[in-house]
């Protein structure tokens, strides 16, 4: 085994081989990605937004769960690195024919793939794939179940650093459906690894995973209490199928108690920034006036997302 079984993302030299989760990555690896992304932001602002780093490499987008948005940002990032990008929406092809994840991956490996970008509805699926691909192939987790969405977590860190410079003196609140959110888990691991001193999670008990404090966060059930004095507010998306049922009675009631409105945001620091991984449910987790307001950095997040994905791909392909 060329990978460390206790930390399957790193090679024997401690370099990033796959990006599966923020958890378990040392701070210097995260800083390297963030620093490299800063250089790629420059590239994305030029006339020719392409660099030749991944010329001749084949990047496969393996989306076992549909997501146009995330797939597109990976596709743009790969193309800006001059890679060849092949998009596969697996849920409509082989899975329905009963082909297993590993069979699909074995077939694609035989097509000389260099990198797999994996999105899957089941937590841990990218780990399974990473364990079974040939040693020269790199796997990037583009979101697995409730587990992790590491590039989203990294782009959020990039955004915070862009506006706040230093993460080691910030109070950060993550609000909403923590239980089902892979974004929240990646954000929490990234913040703790990069030395953020105070992370708060805010939501009703039905959307809070048990023993979430063990991740290094403080739990708030009252959003007004939780937003007091924070520098950064990270809103989460609430899936529509969870808006009414046994988890929550209605989207309206959720918005009233856990939606980000201007009056609730006023409790945060005056220079607080507001993030959202998108796509937003306006009027459910966030009010339009906040989403489009002066504190919102939601659109820059998208731009930075491409630079982060370029950084991750170029670091992986070089290790």
Q: How far apart are CA 246 and CA 242, in angstroms?
A: 8
Which CA distances in Å does 266 have to 176, 261, 270?
18, 9, 7
Closer residue to another protein, CB minimum distance, 209 or 283: 209
SS3 194: coil
Closer residue to another protein, CB minimum distance, 136 or 271: 136
Closer residue to another protein, CB minimum distance, 85 or 184: 184
The encoded tokens of residue 21 equal 């989760």
Q: Minimal distance in Å, beta carbon 59 to another protein?
A: 15
259 touches 176 (CB < 8 A): no
Q: Minimal distance in Å, beta carbon 265 to another protein?
A: 28
Residues at the interface with another protein (CB under 8 A): 8, 23, 32, 35-36, 38-43, 46-48, 50-53, 100-102, 120, 122-125, 127-128, 132, 144-148, 182, 185, 209-212, 214-215, 314-315, 317-319
Q: Minimal distance in Å, beta carbon 32 to another protein?
A: 6
The encoded tokens of residue 180 equal 């089902």
Closest CA to 181 of 263, 276, 55: 276
Closer residue to another protein, CB minimum distance, 154 or 268: 154
Closer residue to another protein, CB minimum distance, 50 or 256: 50
Q: How many other C-beta atoms are found inside a 10 Å radius of the C-beta of residue 36?
A: 16
Q: Minimal distance in Å, beta carbon 239 to another protein?
A: 14
Q: Which residues of 132-147 are buried (b: 16+ CB within 10 A; e: fewer)?
A: ebeeebbbbbbbbbbb
Q: How far apart are CA 68 and CA 212, in angstroms?
A: 30
């Amino acid at each position: 085994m060329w990978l460390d079984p206790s930390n399957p993302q790193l090679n024997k030299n401690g370099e990033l081989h796959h990006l599966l989760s923020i958890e378990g990555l040392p701070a210097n690896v995260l800083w390297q990605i963030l620093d490299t992304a800063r250089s790629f932001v420059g590239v994305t602002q030029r006339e020719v937004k392409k660099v030749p780093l991944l010329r001749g490499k084949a990047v496969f987008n393996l989306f076992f769960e549909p997501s146009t948005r995330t797939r597109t940002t990976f596709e743009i990032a790969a193309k800006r690195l001059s890679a060849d990008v092949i998009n596969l929406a697996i849920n409509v092809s082989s899975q329905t024919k009963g082909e297993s994840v590993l069979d699909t991956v074995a077939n694609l490996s035989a097509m000389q793939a260099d990198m797999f970008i994996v999105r899957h509805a089941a937590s841990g699926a990218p780990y399974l794939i990473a364990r079974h691909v040939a040693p020269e192939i790199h796997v990037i987790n583009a979101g697995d179940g409730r587990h992790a969405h590491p590039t989203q977590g990294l782009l959020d860190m990039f955004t915070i650093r862009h506006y706040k410079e230093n993460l080691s003196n910030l109070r950060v609140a993550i609000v909403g459906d923590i239980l089902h959110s892979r974004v929240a888990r990646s954000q929490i691991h990234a913040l703790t690894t990069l030395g953020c001193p105070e992370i708060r999670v805010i939501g009703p008990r039905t959307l809070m995973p048990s023993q979430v404090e063990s991740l290094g966060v403080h739990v708030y059930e009252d959003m007004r209490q939780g937003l007091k004095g924070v520098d950064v507010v990270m809103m989460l998306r609430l899936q529509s199928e969870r808006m009414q049922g046994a988890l929550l009675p209605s989207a309206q009631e959720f918005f009233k108690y856990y939606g980000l409105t201007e009056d609730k945001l006023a409790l945060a620091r005056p220079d607080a920034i507001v993030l959202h991984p998108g796509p937003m449910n306006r009027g459910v987790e966030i009010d339009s006036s906040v989403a489009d307001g002066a504190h919102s950095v939601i659109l820059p997040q998208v731009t930075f997302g491409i630079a982060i994905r370029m950084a991750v791909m170029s670091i992986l392909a070089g290790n």
